[in-house]
Amino acid sequence: HSVWMFAQGSVVASDVEQLKQAIAECKRLILELPEHSGKQKDTVIKLIHLRLKLQELKDPEEDEPNLQVLLEHRFSKEKSKSVKQMCDKCSTIIWGLIQTWYTCTGCYYRCHSKCMNLINKPCVRSKVSHQSEYELSICPEVGLDKQDYRCAECRTPISLRGVPNEARQCDYTGQYYCSSCHWNDTAIIPARVIHNWAFEPRKVCRTSMRYLALMMSRPVLKLKEINPLLFNFVEELVEIRKLRQDILLMKPYFITCKEAMEARLLLHLQDRQHFVENDEMYSLQDLIDSSSGRLSCSLTEIHTTFAKHIKLDCEKCQAKGFMCELCKEGDILFPFDSHTSVCHDCFAVFHRDCYYDNSTTCPRCARMLERQHEDSQNP
């Protein structure tokens, strides 16, 4: 009767042995009570509470440090009590209400306090820092036999038949993993995007999922070297490349303009800093946003803001424009105008039609050559 009182919560259970007896009694009652009855459901809830209480007694959180460093992970003790998470080590639920748990501030690996000493996976962020590059072959499978029928990460025996453990393939690495290392998470695969312009998420192991998430915004893809033909088939990329080239032509105006510096115009691109450094490198996020149309809209808006400052709002920037020296007519020209061409040698700006219709060299370059010739004749 006293054991049943434990199960009903009438007595505060503090002794481990008594709790174990109460748990056993609850299990027996659940089997005996009518299935799906109210009493059976109440008993199941009491069983859960008793198990949690037992776990609390076995796993006290006294003297747990707030920060622990292990295998390049920086584990921070979590304060959230209501959120239920899964432990990345033991693959069971973390009951925040009664269990101490930690999250790595670098790769967001989560685990129970009691599981920390069992961790053998280094922090993925360290790999991102030391090896910022993607696997660019599509699902480079070598075969389960090459893995000796073991998980590619923890070396647990696995097989395609699920005995003793199900083999799950990671679409990013092409290797096979056990169910503890591969939770059927999905992610967009860089190789499939670059070679097939395909954005459908594929199943990946936990480590790949974290690595791809941390790499998402890193500009490590030089498209014109990896797959230059992509620009022939994806119109959005051609448009974005032109916008990026224009922005690079606008940059010299801003870094020599006090008003532009005070207005911090270049900070419009602070989330894509590489756009003000080159027009070749892309992040996976850039390509995802290109596919959805978001990047084109965003860059067009920024391009308009930049051009307005140079051509309309700022007299100093306007003064750095060009007159077409071939026709000597028309408005002031800027290198980022769509109807202009720029001399590759002296960077003078001309109307595009004038530049390509003119059979002679650039007037500025011609004058420079003439001057050099005169100097050589009169040392």
Q: What CATH number does residue 115 fall under?
A: 3.30.60.20
Last residue of a domain, one of 301, 319, 337: 319
pTM for the model stands at: 0.72
Q: How far apart are CA 246 and CA 207, in angstroms?
A: 39
Compute how many other C-beta atoms are within 10 angstroms of the C-beta atom of residue 264: 10
How many distinct structural domains can be found in the chain? Answer: 5
- End-of-domain residue from the set 216, 240, 261: 216
Q: Are residues 198 and 231 located together in one domain of the fold?
A: no
Residues 109 and 141 in one domain: no
- Mark out the alpha helices in the chain (DSSP H runs): 2-8, 16-32, 38-58, 124-130, 190-196, 206-215, 223-226, 230-233, 235-255, 258-263, 284-292, 294-308, 315-318, 352-357, 363-377
238 and 310 housed in the same domain: yes
Among 216, 242, 257, the domain-final residue is 216
154 and 207 both lie in a single domain: yes
Q: What is the residue type of 53?
A: K
Residues 169 and 230 in one domain: no
Residue range of the domain that includes 328: 323-378
299: number of CA atoms within 13 Å, CB side? 25
Name the phi and psi angles at 291, rounded to 5.
-60, -40
Residues 248 and 312 occupy one common structural domain: yes
What pLDDT does residue 114 have?
Answer: 87
3-state secondary structure 144-192: HHHHCCECCCCCCECECCCCCCECEECCCCCCEECCCCCCCEEECCHHH
| Residue 240 and residue 178 share a domain | no
Q: Which of these, 334, 307, 317, 238, lies nearest to 279 by C-alpha position?
A: 238
Half-sphere exposure of 56 (CA within 13 A, CB side): 14
Can you give the pLDDT at residue 12?
A: 42
pLDDT in tens, 295-320: 999 999 999 999 999 988 898 888 88
Angle at 173 between CA 217 and CA 119, to 5 degrees: 85
Kindly report the CATH number assigned to the domain that includes residue 163: 3.30.40.10
The rounded average pLDDT for each run of 10 residues, N- to C-terminus, in the chain (379 residues) is: 44 63 85 83 80 65 72 85 80 82 89 87 82 89 92 92 90 95 95 96 95 94 93 93 93 88 87 92 96 94 92 88 79 83 78 68 76 69
276 shares a domain with 239: yes
Q: Give yes or no: residues 80 and 150 share one domain.
A: no
Same domain, 229 and 306: yes
Instruction: Classify burial at 322, counting beta carbons within 10 Å of its beta carbon; exposed 0-12, middle 13-18, buried 19 or more.
Output: middle
Work out the end-to-end distance of the chain between its first and last CA atoms, rounded to an integer number of angstroms. Answer: 117
Residue 374 burial (C-beta neighbours within 10 Å; 0-12, 13-18, 19+): exposed
Residues 118 and 155 reside in one and the same domain: no
Please give the pLDDT value at position 360: 56
Residues 44, 32: contact at Cβ < 8 Å? no
pLDDT of residue 144: 93
* Alpha-carbon dihedral sign for residues 298, 302, 303, 305: positive
232 and 295 together in one domain: yes
